[in-house]
Amino acid sequence: MRIRESIYLVGVVDSEIRNFHGYEVPIGTTYNSYLVIDDEVTLVDGVQADFATEQIDNIKKIIGDRPIDNFIINHVEPDHSGSIPLIAATYPNLKAFGTNNALREIEAYYPGTKLNFEVVRAGDKLETSDHTFEFIPAPMVHWPDSMSTYVPEKKVLFSNDIFGQHIGDGSRFDHELDRDKLLERAASYYANIVLPFGMQVLRVFSALEDLDIEVALPSHGVILEDALPDFIESYKRWANGEVNEAKASIVYDTMWGTTAKLALMIRDEYKERGLDVELLNLGTIHYSDAMARLLESKYIAVGSPTLNNQMLPSVAAFLTYFKGLKPKNRVARAFGSFGWSGESIKYVRAVLEDELKLEMEDDLSVKWNVDSEQA
């Protein structure tokens, strides 16, 4: 598919995937890859291994038997690198470009793959007859190897994971989607993939500041034209750790309904304080969905009953995930019900207070049932 003069989309749609390394993706995703054609053929990014043949077919539909000259590898996570061995075997004379970390990871992931690889650094460029490819390392957005590539002649940024959205419904451009829905997918992606790397995002943004970018071509989801300013504004806000002071999320699961009653009590308390509250029941939604929905909440309450001296597994899974994503600038609270021992509240608080160092409000716990005489 032609995107701009001399730029083509040769990636693939993975409409079936629903679990992306633990992140639930309800409408699938894409692994985007692009061809830039002038006197040379330059391929930007690979795709997931199961789709390697499809990517090669897509490339051949555009260039026929013409060889690929240059292969820019912006990121080595397998969703973007799985087709590297087949690309290298199909086009043995191409020259690959990526960061030093990318080279190390490719050697480790794909031993025996022969690539003529040039390590690039910030400020390095690849010049073809009509295009300049400026390499912008973006370490930890998302992996140590990550980078973006800017082409000034087209005002295009191949942003890779930055600005990604897991959308595999066949949409290809931002204008095909309702803007709120698109931003919702972007927020979900940020909350589940990018959240721990706010400082690194800001560092990349300072490198992008002087660039004239009209179009972002991310490695997942739709191409960003009209929506790009909204994405940039949202990323700056999220990366700066800005949250909505008037929003609260209550994440919980329940055994026999008592922890759910406590969740309602906390909801009423939050409402009395003028907060906009959302209940997120892990018995009905996936922890990654909860993560997406609480991205901008200043107040977060997490509740679990005690089961066999532990938290409920659903809450423990959420907290493991939440902890890894390192949310900051929140006011948290632990709550839960129990029958005799009551460890769950202590374990919930330990993650929120001791590990994440969040400001805490008082615990809320109850024995057996709300209003129980034995409580």
Whether 184 is catalytic is no
Total residue count of the chain as it appears in this document: 375
Nearer to ligand FEO, 147 or 250 (CB): 147
Three-state SS at 24 = strand
Rounded distance between C-alpha atoms, residue 176 and residue 153, angstroms: 26
- 185 contacts ligand FEO (rule: CB under 6 A): no
Q: Total number of residues binding ligand FEO (CB under 6 A)?
A: 9
Shortest distance in whole angstroms from residue 218 CB to ligand FEO: 9
Question: Closest CB to ligand FEO among 80 and 286?
Answer: 80
Query: Rounded to the nearest whole angstrom, what is the least distance from the CB of residue 221 to ligand FEO in the complex?
Result: 10
Out of 80, 131, 142, 166, which one is annotated catalytic?
142
**Backbone dihedral region of 45: left (phi > 0), alpha (psi from -120 to 50 degrees) or beta?**
left
> Looking at 131, 166, 220, 286, which residue is catalytic?
220
175 given a catalytic annotation: no
User: Looking only at residues 57 through 86 of this chain, which bind ligand FEO when binding is defined by CB under 6 A?
Assistant: 75, 77, 79-80
- Which residue in the set 131, 154, 220, 286 belongs to the binding site for ligand FEO (CB under 6 A)? 220
* Residue of 23, 110, 189, 252 with catalytic role: 189
Eight-class DSSP state of 363: P
Please report where in the chains the tokens 């995107």 appear, as a residue: 3
Q: How far apart are CA 180 and CA 197, in angstroms?
A: 24
* Closer of 166 and 333 to ligand FEO (Cβ): 166
**SS3 for 208?**
helix
Q: Which of 161, 174, 253, 289 is catalytic?
A: 161
Q: How far is it, in rounded angstroms, from Cα 276 to Cα 246?
A: 6
- Taking the least distance from each CB to ligand FEO, the nearer of 50 and 269 is 50
Q: C-alpha dihedral over 101, 49, 193, 286, to 10 degrees?
A: -150
Distance CA 151, CA 146 (A): 17
C-alpha 79, offset from chain centre: 12
- We find the least distance from the C-beta atom of residue 152 to ligand FEO, in angstroms, to be 25
Which SS3 state, helix, strand or coil, does residue 320 take? helix
- Look up 75 and say whether it is catalytic: yes
79 annotated active-site: yes
Residue 305 identity (one-letter amino acid): P
H-run or E-run covering 289? helix 287-293
Q: By C-beta, is 140 or 246 nearer to ligand FEO?
A: 140
**What does the CA dihedral 102, 105, 109, 112 come to, rounded to 10 degrees?**
80
Give the nearest distance from C-beta 276 to ligand FEO in angstroms: 32
Catalytic residue among 40, 79, 145, 253: 79
Binding-site member from 148, 165, 219, 344 for ligand FEO (CB under 6 A):
219
180 is catalytic: no
Give the footprint of ligand FEO on this chain (CB under 6 A): 75, 77, 79-80, 142-143, 161, 219-220
| Residues noted as catalytic | 21, 75, 77, 79, 142, 161, 189, 220
